[in-house]
Structure formats: C-alpha cells, structure tokens
Amino acid sequence: MASPKKKLQGLVAATITPMTEHGEINFSVIGQYVDYLVEEQGVKNIFVNGTTGEGLSLSIAERRQVAEEWVTRGRNKLDQVVIHVGALSLKESQELAQHAAEIGADGIAVIAPFFFKSLNKDALINFLKEVAAAAPTLPFYYYHIPTLTGQLLSALVIGATGAVGSTYNYLGKKTNQMLEAFERKDFSSALNYQFCIQRFINFVIKLGFGVSQTKAIMTLVSGIPMGPPRLPLQKASREFTDSAKAKLKSLDFLSLAGTNDGNLETCS
C-alpha cells in the first residue's frame, strides 16, 4: 500500500462485507475480491466498513477482523485502504482508530454521531478531534453523506480528483474509462460513459437500491458470492436480481459466455 504522504485520488471502492447464508462474515473470498478490483475494475483504493460494508451492523471485534483482512490481502496490491471507524461510542471509535493505525491502514474516516447527535458544529468538531487523536499519524476523513447525484463528471469539471462509491466495485472499469477520456479532453466520450453509467444507476434506483441490491449486483458481475446482508436488512428479491441482470447485459456490463444479445445499448 501507499506511503502516508501519497494523496488519495481516483476511484475509491466502498467495499462490501461478504457474508454466508447464515449471516457470518465470509473472510475466505476477500483475497479474490482484492484481485478482482485491481485486475478487472482497475480500482486500487478502498473504503472499508462503511455503509456499503454494513460496518454499523458488525461487532467491534468483527470490524477489527474485516479491517485486518483487507489490509493483509491488499498489501502490495492496493494503493490505499481507508477504514471507517465511526461508532455510537467515542471510546469504540478511538479503539478502532488506534487499531487501524496498528495494522497499517492508510487512513481513517468517521461518520457524525447519529443517535446522540452533536448540538452544534463545535461539539461535532470536538468529537472528530478526539477520534483523530487516537491515530495521529493517519490521514483523517470526515464521512459525510450528502444527497447522491451520481454526477462524477460534473465534479471533475470543478476540480475533484476522485470519489468514493459502491458502484466502483462493479462499474470501476467504465468509470475509469470516463476519467481517462476526461484527462485526454475527449469530453464527448467522457459524457457518453457518464450517461451509460447513469442509465444503469437510475434504473436500479427506481427498483429500490441499497446495500442488499449492491450485494446482488456485485455477485452477478464479479462471480464472487457476496451473500445476503445481515438483519434487519433483507436479501434482494429475485425480481430485482433478474431485472438488474437484464439491464447489465443490455449495457454490456455483464459478459456471459455464449450469449448473443442483439439488444445492447450504446455505451462506448
């Protein structure tokens, strides 16, 4: 992984936590998951134990184990591993932050407390300072989730150099093609890639899109079993999976051997 001084930029995949059908973490596929991100999607930065990774549905011990596995499996393959350490308890956040530093993570992130909430900006800043102080050598990121727009291209135009997202797990290659077109000032191609990606995102949002559905899509595209989410979330419906699969094929995001679909949408 990268030295602490290297700037975090480019695509950052918000990783999924693979689980068995019984709701236990499936650590055995994380190594394969790392290779898939790097070799198939061209994504070498990850954000672990966030919303997509069901971090707040995991025990503290599980969060530590998941972080360790990603850091270990990503060594010499990933550029940066950022660990989300936010929790309802300040002490737990500090424990997770210190642990992230000890295992060699490249950064930590914290979501604002959401049960006992900060009454004002100063209280929130004090909370964040206390967590950051537990891992003073690591870059610290405030994990804020504004309204999602999906418009990475617009962000690039105003100076953004990267983004964190769950879709980069399986649409990283297409998004990187958009970034490359933007860099070479081929704005027409970049816009086409953005529209193509957005068509799929808009489609699944209409069906109902969340962690469960992200797991189902990642399983379809990568072939790596992500399993169901942990309760209280429910497994994606068969109807959703079938509809998403058809849309992925129509956009040529899902290459299936022996298929010859004449209804592909233009995406390149």
What is the rounded distance in angstroms from the CA atom of residue 256 to the CA atom of residue 195?
23
In this structure, is residue 23 part of a structural domain?
A: yes
Whether 225 is in a domain gets the answer no
Rounded CA gap, 137 and 106, in Å? 9
Residue 27 belongs to domain spanning: 10-143
88 in any annotated domain: yes
Binding residues for pyruvate: 52
Residue 11: predicted pLDDT: 95
**What is the strand order of the sheet 10-14 is part of?**
140-143, 107-111, 80-84, 45-48, 10-14, 162-165
Q: Is residue 160 part of a domain?
A: no
Q: How many CB atoms lie within 10 A of CB 127?
A: 17
Identify the pLDDT of residue 257. Answer: 35
In this predicted structure, what is the pLDDT of residue 117?
Answer: 83
- The verdict on residue 5 lying in a domain is no
Q: Residues in the chain with pLDDT < 50?
A: 2-4, 147-149, 256-262, 264
On whether the CB atoms of residues 61 and 87 are closer than 8 A, the answer is no
Q: How far is CA 228 from CA 8, 26, 46, 98, 233, in A?
A: 31, 11, 21, 30, 9
What tokens does 241 get? 């999976």
CATH code: domain of residue 102: 3.20.20.70
Q: Is 27 exposed, middle or buried (0-12, 13-18, 19+ CB in 10 A)?
A: middle
Per-residue tokens: 73? 């499996």
What is the reported pLDDT for 61? 98
Residue 87: inside a domain, yes or no?
yes
Euclidean distance between CA atoms 173 and 67, whole angstroms: 25
Whether residue 101 lies inside any domain: the answer is: yes
Please name which of 46, 40, 68, 66 lies closest in space to residue 55, comparing C-alpha atoms. Answer: 66
Number of folded domains that form the chain:
1
On whether residue 243 sits in a domain, the answer given is no
Annotated binding site: 52
Predicted local confidence at residue 252, as pLDDT = 84
